[in-house]
Structure 1
Amino acid sequence: MSAPKSKGEEEPSDANIPDNYVSYTLKHQKALDPISWDNWWQELNLLHAAILGLTPIMGIIGAFVVRLRWETAVWSVVYYFMTGLGITAGYHRLWAHRSYNASKPLQFLLCILGAGAVQGSIRWWARGHRAHHRYTDTDLDPYNAHKGLLWSHIGWMLFKPRRKPGVADISDLAKNEVVRWQHRHYLFLVFGMGYIFPMVVAGLGWGDWKGGYVYASLLRLCFVHHSTFCVNSLAHYLGDAPFDDKHTPRDHLITALCTIGEGYHNFHHQFPMDYRNAIKWYQYDPTKWTIWFTSKLGLSSHLKVFPENEVRKGQLTMQLKRLREIQEKLNWPSDNSHLPVISWESFLQQAQSRPLICIAGFIHDVDDFLDQHPGGRHLLTKYIGRDATTAFFGGVYDHSNAAHNLLSMKRVGVLLGGAPHGLEDKAIPPSQRLRIAHYNEMGGSGYSSAALSDSEGLLG
């Protein structure tokens, strides 16, 4: 039995969901009809459409009639970063992912600035974002990237959702007094910080009331909106997947530049509770540096960093996967188990009609290489019907990796009795020793198991 909850304590909304929650919900929860040319106007979210549609229209019209002063331009950029950080450092990394702890003054500052970005309250924003991480690329993801770039960027807000987003617990946010305060006073904060405050600063500061409203309020807000929206769209479309390619998140500098550092999204989806997005010092992530700076001022603490060893494992996994893709395009020698076992007498007899050479317990047919041998045809022909192991492994010339790999492609048989003692490691060509094995090869014979142990798979 679960422990009894204290009075007023909210039970996590995902405490009792079934193990097959996603498949069960998709099967039993009826989705709304698809959006079409016939019904799109009925499916609009009018509030969101008004905010996202009228703001840029009014801003562009205003820009044609109101001159942009340099002071207002600077203030607009500064306030863009301030309100953008309210989302990235506040809504996203602090409240949605709990990647660090913030003092009350810093929490109030971030929640006020976040309201100035006009993207909903912390509760609403974090609830949707937690659902996005838990149900990434499924129909329970509010901004499912598989529905297209336009949908994940802005369509999911312009239209009513086709189904409810997956359950995500925000009971921790329900207990946070700063989050509750912002939720209660959200409308006041939105108008005050989103539209009035930036205009007042420009008006009282240098007398540019109209410019403050057009540039620092409307157009700045438009840029903040689409900067954040790029995290849902561009960050799932453009770039590489250096940590995991199971889902759509990608890393790219352009996305980072567009989103105040949120562009290393593949890393973020792998390690969402890490306060960083960019792990290299030279990667653009002003949000990370802002959080780090506040920690030095004593305004934040407990900055969470995923263990470097585990981060490197993720990178190595993808590097090996890419190498496997290259490996699959190459030709490899047949498994030892398919080679016939040949006695020395049979080898001598067959060598009279075929250019066969014995090296390290394997019989090789060098017919197509006689005229290509760098040392000349005569060096090969003298070893036909003989054991050239000593000569090949440094007696005459200590052959390169390329020579070892090429030689293994010419194996036509295994000498009865195998390789001479002490040459077991020579039986596996260099390219095979690091060959990436399939799961079903782990317990098998031949070169696949040889990738795990140089001493295995010598004979089929």
Structure 2
Amino acid sequence: MSSVYPTRTPDVGLKTPPITPQTNQQPFAMKAKLNGKADEVPADIDIPDNYVAYTLKTQKPLPPFDWRQWHKEINWISTALLASTPIIGLVGAYYTRLRWQTALFSVVYYFFTGLGITAGYHRLWAHRAYNASRPLQYILALAGAGACEGSIKWWSRGHRAHHRYTDTDLDPYNAHKGLYWSHVGWMLVKPRRKPGVADVSDLSKSSIVRWQHKHYVGLMLTMGFLVPTIIPWLLWNDARGGYVYAAVLRLVFVHHSTFCVNSLAHWLGEAPFDDKHTPRDHLITALVTIGEGYHNFHHQFPMDYRNAIKWYQYDPTKWFIWTMQKLRLASHLKVFPDNEVKKGQLTMQLKRLRQTQENLAWPQDSNDLPVVDWDSFQEQSTKRPLILISGFIHDVSDFLEEHPGGRHLLVKMIGKDATTAFFGGVYDHSNAAHNVSFSFIPCLAVPCR
């Protein structure tokens, strides 16, 4: 997810890709820029195959945060908005009675603006997980503006960089830098380096995205503060309550709900599909992010319109998109093939099984054991309790008193072949018995011939 407002990034490294060595010609992106259409040309059209390594090597980040120059390091726009809203909201709530109509409206408006981010900014525009009709696009663009997290174009550019460069220094909210950093820290200080290149040329072709980007500040103030204040004022004469609860405090909850997708979703939970990177799945994260908590699945299958694939998992955003399809306001909902999803799950299950297997004690390889004849087995059985099972000799000294069937059944088989009795003649032993027999009883375990 993304910031509350576009932040300035350090101008480090190259602004445009180098001249293509194969053709020795000016890159196509530069040609388009000269023609005035640079925003509709893919930003990554000319990047080299080793872009990540090359960028990290050649584009040096800003020096570490300097407390002596802290006032120059702070991103004041984001800091002011993130710090002022909870203060204004809490002080306002202390002096403002919460009416039930305003409380209900605040919750509804929270989900409205939250869905503008999750169903609009995130799944529709950043990942193109489905198609939306123009009316629905306008609604989501307005709702997203009310969340005060930047324009669609700016937000999607950062989020696409996050997916492409997850957990690297080119990821704007790299989870490896800590929970606080990925939650809000990356917005409070000037970033140390420019995020990795990410293409949003497809969004630049959208008239709705261009309209929202151009008028973003006005739309943000209108949808973020004016509308949630005016509606309670007009309907039940509670402008003050509308401003405090539906505008300011609602905005605090929307912000930190969104930020939890960057932080909590990369820290809490399990990785049932892939553990290469930090994204995790957890119900708690889903509850506080309007369904974006099944983040491990999302990072594996980002173009799937769902986050939760089970019907009972909490994902209001998925339900909203599905409902819009039934109302014919959305179409072409993308779903990753179930067979491929199960492959990812099986891969992780097998990996966990291998890790478990490596921590278990297994029998010695029979090829490394000495071979004894029957007479030697008979002779040694007179000195200690040895029993033959499936060609392997077992010393049952420490198991005589522990045998569930009783000591006598083992004693009478000392110096004999107990294979038939073991495999159903007397008792058809369980897998656990087989494992104990071949793994945990002190034994010679030597083949007899």
Measure the CA separation in 2 of the matches of 1:280 and 1:229.
Answer: 24
| Mapping 1:200-279, distance limit 5 Å | 200-279=230-309
Q: Aligned letter for 2:76?
A: L
TM-score normalised by length of structure 1: 0.84
Measure the CA separation in 2 of the matches of 1:62 and 1:39.
Answer: 33
1:180 to 176, 197, 210: 210
**Cα RMSD, aligned residues only:** 2.3
Measure the CA separation in 2 of the matches of 1:342 and 1:168.
Answer: 70
2:398 to 356, 363, 368: 368
Determine if the alignment matches structure 1 residue 38 to structure 2 residue 68. Answer: yes
Measure the CA separation in 1 of the matches of 2:403 and 2:253.
Answer: 66
Measure the CA separation in 1 of the matches of 2:344 and 2:190.
Answer: 37
The Cα offsets for residues 415-439 of structure 1, whole Å up to 9 and x where unpaired, read as: 366xxxxxxxxxxxxxxxxxxxxxx
The Cα offsets for residues 20-64 of structure 1, whole Å up to 9 and x where unpaired, read as: 322322222211121243233211111111221222222222223
Measure the CA separation in 2 of the matches of 1:21 and 1:349.
Answer: 73
- Give the corresponding residue for 1:120: 150
Q: Aligned letter for 1:28?
A: T
Measure the CA separation in 2 of the matches of 1:198 and 1:305.
Answer: 35
| Mapping 1:188-207, distance limit 5 Å | 188-207=218-237
Determine if the alignment matches structure 1 residue 348 to structure 2 residue 402. Answer: no
- Give the corresponding residue for 2:322: 292
| Mapping 1:105-184, distance limit 5 Å | 105-184=135-214
> How far has the Cα of 1:221 moved from its partner?
1.3
Q: Aligned letter for 1:379?
A: L
The change in CA–CA distance for 1:42 and 1:389 in structure 2 (over 3 A counts) is: same
- 1:342–1:413 CA contact under 8 A, matched in 2: no
Q: Secondary structure at the match of 2:394?
A: strand
- 2:66–2:73 CA contact under 8 A, matched in 1: no
Structure with the bigger RCO (C-alpha within 8 Å, sep 6+) is: 2
TM-score normalised by length of structure 2: 0.86
The Cα offsets for residues 155-210 of structure 1, whole Å up to 9 and x where unpaired, read as: 11111111111111112112222111111111121111111122121222222222
Q: Secondary structure at the match of 2:68?
A: coil
- Give the corresponding residue for 1:382: 412
Q: Aligned letter for 1:230?
A: C
Q: Secondary structure at the match of 1:342?
A: coil
The Cα offsets for residues 124-144 of structure 1, whole Å up to 9 and x where unpaired, read as: 111111111111111111111
Measure the CA separation in 1 of the matches of 2:288 and 2:170.
Answer: 26
Determine if the alignment matches structure 1 residue 396 to structure 2 residue 426. Answer: yes
| Mapping 1:67-86, distance limit 5 Å | 67-86=97-116
Flag structure 2 segments of 5+ consecutive residues without an equivalent: 1-21
Measure the CA separation in 2 of the matches of 1:11 and 1:237.
Answer: 36
Query: How many percent of aligned residue pairs carry the same amino acid?
Result: 70
Q: Aligned letter for 1:412?
A: L
Measure the CA separation in 1 of the matches of 2:57 and 2:371.
Answer: 57
- Give the corresponding residue for 1:301: 331
The Cα offsets for residues 360-390 of structure 1, whole Å up to 9 and x where unpaired, read as: 1222222222333233333223333332222
- Give the corresponding residue for 2:14: none
- 2:96–2:241 CA contact under 8 A, matched in 1: yes
1:93 to 96, 119, 123: 123
> How far has the Cα of 1:414 moved from its partner?
4.2
Q: Which moved more, 1:179-188 or 1:238-247?
A: 238-247
> How far has the Cα of 1:302 moved from its partner?
1.1
Q: How many residues align?
A: 416
Measure the CA separation in 2 of the matches of 1:370 and 1:34.
Answer: 68
